[in-house]
Amino acid sequence: MSEARRVVITGIGAITPIGTGVDAFWQGLGRRRSAVGGITRFDPSPFRSRMAGEVNDFHASDHIEERRVRRLDRYSQFSIAATRLALADAELDATREDGDRVGAMMGTALGGVARGEGEYRNFVEGGIRAVDPSLALSVFAGAGSCNIAIEFGFTGPNSTNGMSCASGTIAIGDGYRAIRRGDADVMVAGGAEAPLAPLCFGAFAIIRAMSTRNDDPAHASRPFDRSRDGFVMAEGAAVLVLEERSRALARGAPIYAEICGYGLTNDAHHMTAPRPDGTKAALAMRKALAEESVSPWEVGYINAHGSSTPLNDPTETSSIRQVFGEHAERLAISGTKGYYGHALGASGAIEAAICALASRRGWLPPTVNLEEPDPACDLPYLTGTGRDASPDYILSNSFGFGGINASLLFRRA
């Protein structure tokens, strides 16, 4: 990788069930307990699963002008607000930037579909005149990155991908590459998801992908645990400010970590089940390492996808072993969805934020709710209080429906 186009993370904006804003988010990780609870947004009684990771401390008007809030659905509100938080954290004034050199990359699984669901009910009950005219401008996934561009005047590269649960990771990888090849100097990149509506939620309930531990929601998301029975849906967003390194240093920007590798593959196997041999997930990790010629033994921590599903967790375990061999026994690994659930396309961005924070602050969070490891998940997953450590290299994995596999490699700043 050219020394002239290295990419660092200078800002983090997080909106999650465990906290909104970088400091509240970090404090939520430090509490080492789940924020998953019973659903309050709608009546979940028709479904086998009736819990979620809800964001309860978010008020759009704290981040967006009130008249604009009324025209935006929750997905776009999350996208703009997380970006504003990230820019403030990066000490970056958008009004003083050359807009052509700043872009936005976002990821989401469902985009504004939940807004469409609500407006369809209005249509059925009151006809077309009952439908909010802003529906056409909010239901498409690209509303996330486009609304960011409009809000902040960013006229550089702009895209939103819809690659299921790997979307946020892919968006950050695409932003990293845009800077590396010289298309931009700054990219805001991440993911946003606001899926907590009956049809969106029910679609995953129908295929029995979600946990039914309704009597104990705080322990329902339990990555790599023997008694896991599915993922827990969540909402949220995370946006990172990515910046060309010499530029960031010149302005004295705070630097969390450097992104130095990105791998992307597909299982080409099944729409919901991972490829059983884990070889293409392993290939994504190898690609991320190869981009910076990093040896597996140099990696000290992996933030695993750890979806808490019966098939994903052992397959990820296998793929990590394929890449890291004997070193896998010495790795620190955690799956952090036990904290906040699975925010679909935003999860990879949330977990990238965790990796960046861990790199700078020297603490690796535990795998919440991992009480009895599955024998098929036999790696040294962190539990308890986590671990004080500052690894030179950290890897983050995201795997999604459709067989998509994405990995990001971070280097300590």
Q: Check if 342 is active-site.
A: yes
Residues 6+ apart with CB under 8 A from 126: none
User: Is 269 known to be catalytic?
Assistant: no
Tokens of 11: 């800002």
The amino acid present at 133, given as its one-letter code, is: P
Do 229 and 235 contact (CB within 8 A), yes or no? no
DSSP 175: H
Task: Indicate which residue of 200, 342, 355, 377 is catalytic.
Answer: 342
135 token code pair: 């529906």
Beta 257-266 vs 7-16: how paired, if at all? antiparallel
Task: Tell me the longest C-alpha to C-alpha distance in the chain.
Answer: 64
- From the list 397, 193, 203, the residue with the least C-alpha distance to 312 is 397
Sign of the CA dihedral with 48 first, then 50, 51, and 52 last: positive
Neighbours of 127 (CB within 10 A): 9
CA distance linking residue 188 with residue 190, whole number of Å: 7
Q: How far is CA 402 from CA 109, 163, 237, 372, in A?
A: 11, 8, 22, 30
Q: Could you tell me the CA-to-CA distances from 229 to 27, 75, 314 in Å, in that order?
A: 28, 28, 13
Among 165, 200, 355, 377, the one annotated catalytic: 165
Burial 37-57 (b: 16+ CB within 10 A, else e): bebeebebeebebbbbbbbee
| 270 in catalytic set | no
DSSP class per residue in 306-363: ----TTHHHHHHHHHHHHHGGGGGG-EEE-THHHH-B-GGGHHHHHHHHHHHHHHHTE
Q: Which residues are catalytic, by number?
A: 165, 305, 342
